Amino acid sequence: MPDPLLNLLLSARRGNQDAAVRFWNDCAPGLHALALSVLSDHDAADDTLQRVVCRTIEMPRRRLRAIEDIRAWLARAVRNDALNQRRERARRTSRERNYRPPELAAPLDSDEPLAQALACITQDQREVVLLKHAAGLTFDQIALALDLNRHTAAGRYRAAIASLRRELADDNPTARDRPQDEVSHARHC
């Protein structure tokens, strides 16, 4: 014997508004209660129910007809969707709770030798160095950010590092006043 709820669903698929309302009124309260019991949130339960019903209505007719008991099938689909939503909410909450923003690089003091050396290179080179080291971008990301070819970004970076090494070299008068560990650090940029 054909399932009356399935017949209402099939009629709703064909655009019969009365069948859609009757289908909704017949199955929505119980399915909403099920979703609410899993999610403990009325809005999330509403979203789950709507998502499942919409997906069900969009299923191919032959697949719908193959469902043995539409009410049980809908209950399982609502429960699974609600459990997935609950797991996603738990993962999101965990990520938000454990999120630590990256430490921002301290602004360069204009008296620092590195800041002075950066002031001596071109703006184009300085941008690439700062995006690479202060922002942590890859050359692909730098190229995208500056609307450049990746090889151009990498070339500017190599030229900037060479210029910075020259500026910070031991024979540079401003580099002599710095402790040795700062010079060696600057060479390994």
pLDDT in the model for residue 115? 83
Q: From CA 165, how far away is CA 91, in angstroms rounded?
A: 46
pLDDT in the model for residue 116? 85
pLDDT for 110 beyond 80: no
Q: Does residue 45 lie in a domain region?
A: yes
Q: Does residue 39 lie in a domain region?
A: yes
Q: Of 76, 133, 125, 84, whose CA–CA distance to 104 is shortest?
A: 133
Half-sphere exposure of 184 (CA within 13 A, CB side): 3
Q: Do 76 and 133 share a structural domain?
A: no
Q: Do 66 and 21 share a structural domain?
A: yes
Q: Does residue 103 lie in a domain region?
A: no
Q: Do 88 and 27 share a structural domain?
A: yes
The residue among 111 and 70 whose pLDDT is bigger is: 70
pLDDT for 24 beyond 50: yes
Of 98, 131, 151, the position where a domain reaches its end is: 98
Residue 177's pLDDT band, with cuts at 50, 70 and 90, is low
Number of domains in the chain: 2
Of 74, 98, 122, the position where a domain reaches its end is: 98
Q: Does residue 108 lie in a domain region?
A: no
Of 66, 98, 130, the position where a domain reaches its end is: 98
Mean pLDDT for 165-189 is 56
- Residue burial 56-69, b: 16+ Cβ < 10 Å; e: rest: beeeeeeebeebee
Q: Of 8, 90, 86, 85, whose CA–CA distance to 53 is shortest?
A: 8
Q: Does residue 76 lie in a domain region?
A: yes
pLDDT in the model for residue 176? 47
Token pair belonging to 102: 């990256």
pLDDT for 175 beyond 70: no
DSSP at 135: S
Q: Do 135 and 90 share a structural domain?
A: no
User: What is the crossing angle of helices 17-39 and 42-58, to 10°?
Assistant: 130
pLDDT in tens, 122-157: 999 999 998 998 888 999 999 999 999 999 999 999
Token pair belonging to 125: 């080179």
Angle at 38 between CA 65 and CA 67, to 5 degrees: 10
**What is the average pLDDT score of the chain?**
85
Q: Does residue 82 lie in a domain region?
A: yes
Provide the domain limits for residue 118.
Answer: 113-187
Q: From CA 7, how far away is CA 156, in angstroms rounded?
A: 68
Q: Do 139 and 94 share a structural domain?
A: no
Phi, psi of 25 (to 5 degrees): -65, -30
- Contacts by 40-48 with C-beta closer than 8 Å and gap 24+? 44/82, 44/85, 44/89, 45/82, 47/85, 48/78, 48/81, 48/82, 48/85
Q: Does residue 68 lie in a domain region?
A: yes
